[in-house]
Structure 1
Amino acid sequence: MLLKEWENEKETLHLLSQILGKYKLECSYQEPQWEHVILDITVEGFTTGMLHYKDKDSYITVNLIDHVIEIRVDRNKESIELKNGLSIQYYYSEIKKVLEKHGLDMQINTTPQEFPDTTPFEKDSHHHHYDSEISAKVLDLMKFAYHAEAQFISSLRTRRVKPGLFWGTFDISSIIVYNSHQPFEDDSKIIERAAFDEEMIEFGFWFGDDNFKGPTFFVLPYPFADKKFECNDKFPEGSYFDENLDEFIIEVSNYNNDTIQDVVKFFYESYSIFKDDLEWKNCEHFHLPLKMKENNLK
């Protein structure tokens, strides 16, 4: 699905994810690399997972199958319809109203982050696009990206961040973190200084942007690449190193298991090059087989 086919709907979904993310930011136990604010991909859509505030547990889910926002506070559950014409201003107001009804009065920063339009949620009446058929396709893409990343990273014997929705940039990413403290050079940048303070390699997916027409996977190292790299013959067809982004890139148009296998190979080869360039040591055991009986995902 090309971005031009659903750009308005994407912006509305992106802002919905930001509302959820802002609540998760305030009500989750803090972790390095902002891992605590990542939204979980589910069978139905994306969710905050468990939030905790004032001895109450809650969650907020954007359900792209039943086209509702679900809010549970302990044993109480309410929903808000997702519908074309309803604005971010409306959704935010309704979510806030439900939470306050059940005793959750937490305050969030309502200004979008890493998003070109900084209209606060409570004033945003112009993002109001929703389409049920597009939402179904978006959910399929989210799950496709999740499975590609999870297949690569889940069994690795090292510290990693599992795939999830980074709501600032609206991409689905996972991370291998190396045991080396590397503080970000500009401590005034609130997001970057917490995201980039240890050596890592990020494996991600985004839906497209001004430079990429549609679904694209990337691999990014930190410290950031400062030289040009080449794709060897082990990379799947279509892979390349983007010198402007300093990332390995592969764009995809099919969303089947064969493509997932290509993406897994793309991740592995990109990781191998960046790992060696960063001079990571003692990584041989990362890929040792798990001593478990194989399950249905093998």
Structure 2
Amino acid sequence: MATKAPNALKNPDFPPLPLEEWESTKDTLHLYFQIIGKIRLEQMPRRNHWWNVTLYVTSRGMGTGPIPYKFYTFEIDFDFIDHQLVMRTSTGATESLALQDGLSVSNFYTSVMKALDVLGIQVDILAEPYDNKSKIPFAEDYQHATYNPEQVNRYWRTLVTIDQVMKEFSGRFYGKTCPVHLYWHHMDLTVTRFSGKSIPVPIEASVVEKDAYSHEVISFGFWPGDDKVRFPAFYSYTFPSPDGLELEKLYPKCAQWVDSNGSPMALLNYEELRLLDNPREALLNFFESAYIAGAELAEWPVEELRTIPLNEL
């Protein structure tokens, strides 16, 4: 049974991450992510369910991975240890930009585009926020300019741990699953499982929704909090949502079902998780219990989709 640790420092892999403490920095960083994500969106070949637009946790921050351009590749990495943005090409060229307090979204955007131009890379993006509370075009946004290095590093260290747990959980599933990646529209780190069954998509749905929800899914994620959920949390939802899902048992005990636009969503408060004796195990149990709840009610072939240990093959 999971119990609360008496000392918060007992779990340094899950540091405190109160939204109110770093919200200004988070909002600025979110827009930085959108700019880099839109560059990747513009250049990457299309993949199913928008897997071509996401960012990935790295050993120093977040990054795009290699992006094709003409006869070579380039990549863009946020370094949250030395606090710089580094742009590299497969030809050996490098440009960098210091990440520091006072760097407005406008200056970040302008500097990134100039650096890419120096590298011989021309990319045109729709230079405005997507599905974000800020509606200011990137080039005009001097409002968002807060960057606290310690807070950003703490957030990234949290993602490093969660990325590891999600990858372990992902390895238990033998069916189609996405990489562990960050969708920059909502700033959530996610991993999604697919049953393999396609589903009808309403004609009135947007292109984004049509590609994202063309098949049955059970998705799992973490986001640092926003205007609606005022704390960092883990979530899971099943789509389409089967009847009675909200009656299924979740683990650990502090997890709960909440309403999300008329459908049940499993929710686990990050702060409650990090105070447990073994938060890694508890997080795996949360993902597993939410998966079993959705998969069994939706009649997924659970046993067929289970990864068999090599010594049992």
Normalised by the length of structure 2, the TM-score is: 0.87
2:247 alignment partner, SS class: coil
2:268 alignment partner in structure 1: 250
**1:112–1:183 CA distance, 2 compared to 1 (3 A):** farther
Matched residue type, 1:134: Q
* Contact residue 242 and residue 298 of structure 2 kept, 8 A: no
Residue 265 (structure 1) aligned with residue 285 (structure 2): yes
* Contact residue 154 and residue 162 of structure 1 kept, 8 A: no
2:257 alignment partner in structure 1: 241
2:4 alignment partner in structure 1: none
Q: How does 1:76-91 map to 2 (within 5 A)?
A: 76-91=93-108
1:227, CA displacement in angstroms?
5.0
* Contact residue 245 and residue 297 of structure 2 kept, 8 A: no
Of the three residues 1, 7, 10, the one matched with 2:26 is 10
1:125 alignment partner in structure 2: 142
1:90 alignment partner, SS class: helix
**1:228–1:152 CA distance, 2 compared to 1 (3 A):** closer
CA distance in 1, matches of 2:307, 2:88: 41
Residue 174 (structure 1) aligned with residue 191 (structure 2): yes
2:52 alignment partner, SS class: helix
Runs of 4+ in 1 over 6 A off after TM superposition: none
Residue 286 (structure 1) aligned with residue 302 (structure 2): no
Identity of aligned residues (%): 25
**1:13–1:152 CA distance, 2 compared to 1 (3 A):** same
1:290, CA displacement in angstroms?
3.0
| C-alpha distance after superposition, 1:139-189 (max 9, x if no partner) | 111112212211211242111012111101000000001211114314451
1:219, CA displacement in angstroms?
0.5
**1:7–1:55 CA distance, 2 compared to 1 (3 A):** same
Greater relative CO (CA pairs within 8 A, separation 6+): 2
Q: How does 1:86-101 map to 2 (within 5 A)?
A: 86-101=103-118
CA distance in 2, matches of 1:194, 1:215: 27
1:48 alignment partner in structure 2: 64
| C-alpha distance after superposition, 1:48-84 (max 9, x if no partner) | 1111122231011111111000001221011100010
2:299 alignment partner, SS class: coil
* Contact residue 73 and residue 99 of structure 1 kept, 8 A: no
Aligned length, in residue pairs: 291
CA distance in 1, matches of 2:134, 2:291: 34
Q: How does 1:135-146 map to 2 (within 5 A)?
A: 135-146=152-163
CA distance in 2, matches of 1:44, 1:183: 41
| C-alpha distance after superposition, 1:30-60 (max 9, x if no partner) | 1111111110111111111111122231011
2:75 alignment partner in structure 1: 59
1:27, CA displacement in angstroms?
1.4
Matched residue type, 2:213: F
Residue 200 (structure 1) aligned with residue 217 (structure 2): yes
1:256, CA displacement in angstroms?
8.1
Long gaps (5+) in structure 1: 294-298
1:221, CA displacement in angstroms?
1.2
* Contact residue 258 and residue 266 of structure 2 kept, 8 A: yes
Residue 70 (structure 1) aligned with residue 86 (structure 2): yes
1:203 alignment partner, SS class: strand
1:201 alignment partner, SS class: strand
2:5 alignment partner in structure 1: none
1:209, CA displacement in angstroms?
2.2
* Contact residue 230 and residue 240 of structure 1 kept, 8 A: no
